Structure 1
Amino acid sequence: MRLFYGTGLLGYLGLVQCVTVNFDYESIQLTEETVAALPALSFGNTSDEPLTPRRPRCKVHPGDKTWPSTAEWKGFNASLGGVLLKPTPPGAACYPDHDDYDPERCDFLMGDARRSRFWIDNPLGAVVQWAQGNTCPVEVDPAGECTQGGYPAYVVNATSVRHIQMAVNFSRNKNIRLTVTNTGHEFSGKSTGYGSLSIWIHHLKGIELLDDYTIGEYTGGAAKISAGSEGWEALRVQNGSSPGITIIAPGQGSVGLAGGWLQGGGHSTIAGYYGLAADQVLSLNVVTADGRFVTADVHENRDLFFALRGGGGGTYGIVTSAIVRTYPAHTYVSGLSYSFTTGPSEVNARVYDLFPVAPSFKIESRETFWEAYAEYFAFTKESTAVKGFAFGDVTPVGNDSYTFASMFAFPQASPSEAEALLEPLFERFAALGVNITAPDAVSVPYARVVDPPGPVPGQDLFASRLLPRSLWDDEPRLGDTTRAIRQAVEEGGLQVRSRGYSPTLAIAGYPTTDVSSGINPALRETAMHLVIAVTGEGVVTAHSSPEEWLASHATLEKYTGNLRDLTPDGGAYVNEADVSEPDWQQSFWGSRYPELLKVKRERDPWDLFWGRRMVGSEGWEVETPDEVPSQNGPLCRTGYSY
């Protein structure tokens, strides 16, 4: 174990704090000697932060008189060692009037880029284009001009803690909006921001297994996970281990492990068996808003340890690495996939390519379709009771037709055990005349090891709802809920995706049972997580007007609101939520919010880390010419008075 010393919170008390360095890039740190020569990179001190009325109303942005000059940016780049980027939007290749116009590259963006790692390996690979402002969409024959819009103005391609510290300090001292980008799996716009300086941590790579790790009351296997490591990379290490182990990883292999996925909770197909990703964390290395590099665990910086495990990503600091629990055996899941439809075509019901799927069963009656869906919905209580994972998407496909694709996965069960568990459900289907010939259950690793292409920019618009286990004990309310889902699909034209899992506190294990985490208490009571998504005719495009966007969102809000009304004891999952979630403090964090807000205010009095609907975001808003909540505008204080 290599120990380095920083000043962190204990440093302000005149004590020396020990920082455990997990990877070589963490040993490269900003020193006081460097700061003395470059005042713009000086560390912050939370105790010296002035009162709010003395601060500028808005973060500085291009065109402001206080925006750093070209010479200052060049000087900053030199101090970084040349890793400062000023990238133009990728779509610029499609615009004849743009300096980066390149027809061949545009063809690539329209085609092969979607099947490659281009977007995940691009510092401006924003997933949600409307949140960026749709200022440079990739199109064959684009209309208008390509502008930077909500894309960051500059990007620090961080390959060391020093780079991160310098970017944090420069942004804070210059009052520049700061954003953080990793793998691009961010659906609310937090990784974009007009006039921002982005810290790109995608290239901080490394995973190391620890056979015998001890901290607090824990002794056992663990893994060091770098900030830029993706799910598939962790699984590759897992499967190459001997003896076999399990690392909790996201279902989408290109999601980053130590970023927003973990910090927002982090669910997976085995969340009901081992708990959430945040439950696995034993230690975190973090660059905080004052530019210091600290370790947060059960012994030191416990406030950060609490907040970063479930309190939301991009809010309290930048995690550079994590140490997480591992389990002493490969985890297998047994199960099967099936589907049924009222439409003319079959449905591919595979999820994460885990199980083979039989041809979709055709149902002639729409009433029977929804009765069968209700049976699936009710059965979730039984599957989660044995720590299983249920998947089910119901989708309108036009002409009053609907499809349902489903999967059940049972960790560490045999195929015969999975079939026995599912037999009652298929008997209920058969009683309705839905005689599905389900494929034989099979046993597979819980997540496939593939190098996925990553997210592709789009116009996603969705909301989420966590349904509590108590719902299944209230038959009338359960029936009302399935009817509300039917209304959302039939009347609203929305797709409703369900993920049945139950990450209770009882299975979370140490340190969650010893040191509280920022995880939404509603997640502990959850039996099903719904994602309600705009689809079909309601989908917004790069050229949708603000009125069209707002109309589409109003439909989403109407039908999600019905589900909120039916589940007041539920909540919403912050990583997959409505960007305009009402009463979001309660929905995302419930009773945890006051304590999380206290950590935020103490650790980041500058509001350096900001994301819409994130802890402590109430005092700021992005000023745009319309009501669409994009990031294409200055970030300014609300209720500001001179």
Structure 2
Amino acid sequence: MAPRSLFASLLGALLLAAPGDAAVGTKVSSASKAGVPLFESETVQLTDKSLSTLNSKQAALFGFGKNGSRQSIPHKGECKLLPGDKSWPSGDVWGQFDDVLGDALIKTVPLAAACYPSWPEYDSDKCENVTADWTVSYMHAADPASIMWPLFEGRSCLPTGSNVSSSCTIGGYSSYAVNVSNVAQVQLAVNFARNENLRLVVKNTGHDFNGKSTGAGGLGVWTHNLKDIEYIANYNGSNYQGPAVKMGAGVQAFEIYAKAEELGFTAVGGEGKTVGVAGGYVLGGGHSPMSSVYGLAADQVLALEVVLANGRFVTVTEETDPDLFWAIRGGGGGTFGVVTSVISRVHPKVGVTVSTFSFATSSNVSANTFWAGVRSYFERFPAHADAGTYAYFWVLSTGTNSFEFLMNPFFAVNHTLDEFNTLVKPWFDDLKALGIPFTPNSTYYDSFYQGWDAGFPLETIGSVAMMTGSRLFPRENWEDTTKFNATVAAIRSTVSAGYPLLAFNMKAELPAGYPDDSSNPAFRDTLMHAITSVSWDANATNSQINATMNKLTYDVLGKWRATCPDSGAYMSESDISEPNFQQAFYGTNYDRLYKLKQRYDPAFLFYAPTGVGSEHWEVKSLDGLPDQNGRLCRL
């Protein structure tokens, strides 16, 4: 990161042989209270013995949290440091930090810096590659600071062809990131951020819609390269005995699904190919193509290895700490600690039928007929979800009284082709009776992985000219005729006004015998997770963007909320300005989560927008938008 200081020579006795390992770290036993050995990366830990070799100034930088230090609650108006502040760590201090990390500190260079001659990294060929891949999630996931939705970073360094920014700054990206390869590095980062009053952010892939993995002046803990996967044929816990898998925090959907295909099991993970299954996804609940059968990803978790806000590394299970075990499974990523691995139950190999098709208005299909076909589909949501299926579909306006429906795909878990056709026959018969032409393309696959890989498209990300919002529509909206009519009317009104509907027909009930967790209670009753979006011109002013955002929050989503005011929304795919986010994202769990936040992180070291306790903080955004490009201050 920077020229090596003489500080490293003081630590020679504790240097570890592997490149990238923390220089201050102790190799410990691999035994874990989870009953499954620690990964090799988890056996390198920061201990009191490690710190005893440091002098008092060094210990002040990297020591564990204690009562009366920075663990005390910040005063009103107290802010996290930014580069240029008098108390911002000096270059020598950052050099010392890099030394103890073992050269794992990365100073942030935005991906698009290659497009700007003012940056030393300017490279026209690389700029072309970055521009071409800007909407591809793999590129952003593999960068220590970049996130999938740069709108919420602050649009501070975009490819020059975007016509949005004429300059490149670090903006709302973290100033530095630690490329984590072992637990000691996580502990050092957590302690350093706490002791030096730095904003701390945690990033695996940066998939969250609202920029939870970034923040101006932040120190990032980048867990993306913790890729270990271990299959456990017979996990033996107090409340579960059976197959399980231990995943490092950096494991993504395409990786765990490929391993499951290899070893003959099925995992509950995201539909998106690059989603970090063992990161913020599972900590925020995590809906899945398997959710109608097995519930949320958080429900599968049996144990977690975690670095807490005080820097201590702990094993969290239902036996070791039932409160934290409840809270961290569903209470939101970047809230209670940094997870280095999770152990989750897995399930038998299962076949799936995948079907794609579309229908639209035409000279022979009126708008009313089209919506009758959509209504017929909606009527079957309870039956389809109760059959264990998961559907990903769009309804779009293509002009005045012109619409299109896209099924992309219908994912019928544990259904043969004949069983799938029997399930959807009532709906398909209605479409035929209405005179709506459609041609299903349906294929049976022997395994989840094959069907998932073929059925779900790679998500398109990177937009700075749109934002999304969502709602979880509950089963009661299908059981009550008046509420069902209001739901269909609200969806039609939304789409007719030019706002797209991207939705999932699914359920996510907590399976019988599974321990309760803090996932949004609204998920337990849902039959549709619905998302919509608004967009604006590339040259729109910040005030125009704010007005458009407010229209989504209060007008567009307001109609959806009115049909189910007591429900909520999925925090990871939501409107960052959701009114009363505590109720919308956490429901009746919020009060308990808040009390546990005060116990495990009394100084609120872990901040994430819309996270538990975030109402006590504000980001003084430079552009006036709800992004992370500004100083984080205590309200």
Match of 1:32 in 2: 48
* 1:340–1:363 CA contact under 8 A, matched in 2: no
Q: Cα gap change, 1:159/1:504 in structure 2, threshold over 3 Å: closer, same or farther?
A: same
Q: Match of 1:259, SS?
A: helix
In structure 2, relative to structure 1, the CA distance for the partners of 1:229 and 1:554 (3 Å cut) is: same
Distance (whole Å) between structure 2 residues aligned to residue 399 and residue 583 of structure 1? 35
Pair 1:89 & 2:110 matched: yes
CA contact (8 A) 1:270 1:446 kept: no
Distance in structure 2 (CA, Å) of the matches to 1:41 and 1:489: 53
Determine the structure 2 residue equivalent to 1:378: 379
* Backbone CA RMSD of aligned residues: 2.3
Residue by residue over 1:548-579, the C-alpha shift from the partner in whole angstroms, topping out at 9 and shown as x without a partner, is 21122123121111110110232111111110
Q: CA deviation at 1:184?
A: 2.2
Question: CA, structure 1 residues 92+239, in 2 after alignment: closer, same or farther (shift >3 Å)?
Answer: same
Aligned to 1:419: 421
Shift of 1:544: 3.2
Rounded to whole Å, the distance in 1 between the matches of 2:139 and 2:504 is 29
TM superposition score normalised by structure 2: 0.89
Alignment of 1:136-285 (within 5 A): 136-140=157-161, 143-241=165-263, 244-285=264-305
Q: Which residue of 2 aligns with 1:334?
A: 353
Name the structure 2 match of 1:287: 307
Cα distance change on mapping 1:440 and 1:92 into 2, 3 Å: closer
Give 1:161's aligned amino acid.
V
Counterpart of 2:390 in structure 1 is 389
123 and 270 in structure 1: CA distance in 2 versus 1, 3 angstrom threshold: same
CA–CA distance in structure 1, aligned partners of residues 439 and 281 of structure 2: 36
Which residue of the partner structure matches residue 589 of structure 1?
Answer: 586
Q: Does the 8 Å contact 1:251/1:447 carry over to 2? A: no
Residue 495 of structure 1 and its aligned partner are, at CA, apart by 0.9
The question of 1:120 aligning with 2:136 is answered no
| Amino acid of the structure 2 residue aligned with 1:463 | G
SS at match of 2:426: helix
Structure 1 204/540 Cα, relative in aligned 2: closer, same or farther at 3 Å?
farther
Moved more, 265-274 or 34-43: 34-43
Q: Percent identity?
A: 37
SS of the aligned residue for 1:595 comes to: helix
- 1:190 aligned partner, one-letter code: K
Aligned equivalents of 1:482 and 1:454: distance in 2?
Answer: 27
Query: Which residue in 1 is equivalent to 2:412?
Result: 410
Partners of 1:287 and 1:19 in 2: how far apart? 18
**Counterpart in 2 of 1:580?**
577
Q: Given the alignment, which residue of 543, 547, 563 partners 1:547?
A: 543
Deviations 1:125-155 (A, max 9, x none): 2111121111111123865321111011111
**What does 1:302-381 align with in structure 2 at a 5 Å threshold?**
302-327=322-347, 329-342=348-361, 364-381=365-382
Change (3 A) 1:5 1:33: farther
Out of 487, 491, 499, the position equivalent to 1:494 is: 499
CA distances 1:393-439 after superposition (whole Å, capped 9, x unpaired): 11223455321112433221211011011110011112222143334
Are the aligned partners of 2:361 and 2:370 in contact in 1 as well (CA < 8 Å)? yes
Deviation larger for 148-157 or 376-385: 376-385
Judged with a 3 Å threshold, the aligned counterparts in structure 2 of structure 1 residues 384 and 18 are, in CA distance, closer, same or farther, namely closer
Residue 240 of structure 1 aligns to a residue whose secondary structure is helix
C-alpha contact 2:65 2:71 (8 A) present in aligned 1: no
**What amino acid does structure 1 have at the position aligned with 2:308?**
T
CA contact (8 A) 2:71 2:603 kept: no
| 2-structure distance, mates of 1:625, 1:149 | 9
Alignment of 1:498-537 (within 5 A): 498-505=503-510, 508-512=511-515, 516-534=516-534
CA offset at residue 342 of structure 1?
Answer: 2.7
Tell me by how many angstroms 1:528 deviates. Answer: 1.0
User: How many angstroms does 1:55 deviate by?
Assistant: 7.6
Instruction: Work out the CA distance in 1 between the residues paired with 2:327 and 2:537.
Output: 35
Task: Say if 2:463 is the partner of 1:458.
Answer: yes
Question: Tell me, what secondary structure is at the counterpart of 2:621?
Answer: coil
The one-letter amino acid paired with 2:349 is H
Distance 1:615 1:273 in 2: 29
Cα gap change, 1:232 to 1:335, in 2 (>3 Å) = closer
1:46, distance to aligned residue in structure 2 (A): 5.1
Aligned to 1:122, the other structure's residue is in SS state coil
Residues 119 and 125, structure 1, Cα contact 8 Å, conserved in 2: yes
Q: Please tell me whether the aligned partners of residues 390 and 501 of structure 1 are also in contact (alpha carbons under 8 angstroms).
A: yes
Tell me the distance in 2 between the aligned counterparts of 1:454 and 1:565. Answer: 30
Compared CA separation, residues 49 and 34, structure 1 to 2 (3 A): same
Structure 1 Cα separation of the partners of residues 304 and 460 of structure 2: 26
Change (3 A) 1:454 1:483: closer
Corresponding residue for residue 353 of structure 1: none
Relative to structure 2, which stretch is displaced further, 280-289 or 548-557?
548-557
Which residue of the other structure, out of 471, 478, 498, is the alignment partner of 1:472? Answer: 478
Quick check: 1:182–1:202 contact (8 Å CA) kept in 2? yes
- Verify the 8 A CA contact 2:505 2:528 in the aligned structure 1: yes
The CA distance in 2 between the partners of 1:236 and 1:437, in whole Å, is: 31
Task: Supply the distance in 2 between the matched residues of 1:625 and 1:249 (Cα, whole angstroms).
Answer: 36
Tell me if 1:129 matches 2:150.
yes
CA contact (8 A) 1:336 1:439 kept: yes
Deviation, structure 1 residue 335: 4.3
User: After alignment, is 163-172 or 617-626 more displaced?
Assistant: 617-626
1:279 Cα deviation (Å)?
A: 0.8
Residue segments in structure 2 that go unaligned for 5+ positions in a row = 1-27
Task: Find the aligned partners of 1:392 and 1:577 in 2 and give their Cα distance.
Answer: 17
* Residues 380, 390 of structure 1: 8 Å contact kept: no
For the structure 1 residues 53 and 214, does the alpha-carbon distance in structure 2 shift closer, same or farther, using more than 3 Å as the test?
Answer: closer
Of 286-295 and 479-488, more deviation after overlay is shown by 479-488
**Which residue is equivalent to 2:6?**
none
- What is the rounded CA distance, in whole Å, between the counterparts of 1:133 and 1:54 in structure 2? 27
Runs of 5+ consecutive residues of structure 1 not aligned to the other structure: 7-16, 344-361
Contact 1:3–1:20 under 8 Å retained in 2: no
Aligned length: 596
Task: Find the aligned partners of 1:84 and 1:134 in 2 and give their Cα distance.
Answer: 24
Match of 1:352 in 2: none
Instruction: Tell me how far apart the structure 2 counterparts of residues 55 and 461 of structure 1 sit (CA, whole Å).
Output: 31
Correspondent of 1:101 among 95, 118, 122: 122
- Change in CA separation of 1:277 and 1:217 when aligned onto 2, cut-off 3 Å: same
Structure-2 residue corresponding to 1:354: none
Q: 2: CA distance between counterparts of 1:423 and 1:222?
A: 37
